[in-house]
Amino acid sequence: MAKKKPKPNDNKRKRPKLELPDSRAMEADMRDFLAGIGGQPNLDTPLGKAQSIIDRAFRETNVKKRVALAQEALAACVDCADAYNLLAEHTTGRRAVHRLYEQALAAAERVLGPEVFEREAGQFWSVLETRAYMRARLGLANCLWLGGRHDDAVRHMQELLRLNPGDNQGVRYILASFLLFLDRDDETAELLKAYAERSATWEYSKALLAFRRQGDSEDARHLLRQARRTNVHVPRYLIDDSDLPSGQPPYYSPGDENEAQSYASSFRAPWKFTPGAMAWLRASLCEKKKKPAQLSQGQVRAAIRWIAANLPQSSDVWQAEFRQLSTWIRVGDEMLRPWIVLVTSLSHDLVLGHHLGDESPPTALLWNVLVQALRKPLAGGPHVPTQLQVRENEQWMTLKP
């Protein structure tokens, strides 16, 4: 057997794979930085001591040590919400996890007090002290969902977005999957509209919502095409989940397979339980892109002979043009820059024919618009101009007899 050809860098020492640190460790660093500006935090209070201990836990990579530090933090102060959060992350058993998140939420509420919820609503995450509360509430919402208390889970998610519309936690993506699963389509539509973005999660969810409301409509197909432009891998994982990892990918980039796996893990159920959606998705993959109808020179010459024999000629100069407009317009829930084909009379300043579409027009379409302007112009009677002016490009030159 031939040996594998060594790569140029095979003899070089490989760098160890870098792992992203716990984001809460960076919050701890931020707390230290802010304390350095405004003075040292009061470590003599039970909560101050507990926070210092849990900050050490966030920087720790060993699970056993993290858990031990979280327990130590709670021994120092029972109001250390993030200690409950961390224990919940390393605890098995849904009921036990649920209880820990409830304790975390109650502790955070005691520490913050009601005035913070009134004063900081709308920008909650920007206050470092509120983040333990936000994490606890998100964890509790997920527990409620897994326990079948779906409406309660949705209410928690919606309240998180009310407190922090900027959504640093990505709550909107989880909420979208919950709402679609529950067939709460009007609320899903409102959520998708509230966060105008072109992510794969949003685009595929909009396509599914359109299919639910309209079936295999042109609008639904258009939205599905838009979705596939954001990530081509998603349909494969939605249709066949055998390749899906057991958990969510730790990170992803727009358009990659990790993003597709993440979407399919959360949204496959709404797609699967929407009647006809999976078949529709499969059909979209099997669809061969239709080639634009080709015009032969013989067809063009034959058509020109018929026009010359049947239509009168008038002293008129026409211009024909096609281009993509600079203006964005709304088509359904999408914004796009359309392509326009125009046939105008330069002599009389009239529009004689036009077509608006979402793709660059093929030669056959240009010919159809031009012939329509000759036979049934939008203004005046059918006639042949004495001159037709076009830009010199391949598509127009193809129509030259």
Q: How confident is the model at residue 32 (pLDDT cuts 50, 70, 90)?
A: low
Q: How confident is the model at residue 171 (pLDDT cuts 50, 70, 90)?
A: very high
**Mean of the per-residue pLDDT values of the chain:** 85
Summarised one tens digit per residue, pLDDT across range 230-263 is 999 999 999 988 888 877 777 788 889 999 999 9
- pLDDT at 61 exceeding the cut of 60: yes
- pLDDT at 139 exceeding the cut of 70: yes
Summarised one tens digit per residue, pLDDT across range 341-379 is 889 988 888 888 888 877 778 888 888 888 888 889 888
CATH architecture, domain defined by 22-168: Alpha Horseshoe (1.25)
As a three-state string, the secondary structure of the chain is: CCCCCCCCCCCCCCCCCCCCCCHHHHHHHHHHHHHHHHCCCCCCCHHHHHHHHHHHHHHCCCHHHHHHHHHHHHHHCCCCHHHHHHHHHCCCCHHHHHHHHHHHHHHHHHHHCHHHHHHHCCCHHHCHHHHHHHHHHHHHHHHHHHCCCHHHHHHHHHHHHHHCCCCCCCHHHHHHHHHHHCCCHHHHHHHHHHCCCCCHHHHHHHHHHHHHHHCCCHHHHHHHHHHHHHCCCHHHHHHCHHHCCCCCCCCCCCCCHHHHHHHHHHHHHHHHCCCCHHHHHHHHHHCCCCCCCCCCHHHHHHHHHHHHHHCCEEEEEEEEEEEECCCCEEECCEEECCEEEEEEECCCCEEEEEEEECCCCCHHHHHHHHHHHHHCCCCCCCCEEEEEECCCCHHHHHCCC
Q: Domain limits of the chain?
A: 22-168, 170-286, 297-398
- pLDDT at 31 exceeding the cut of 90: no
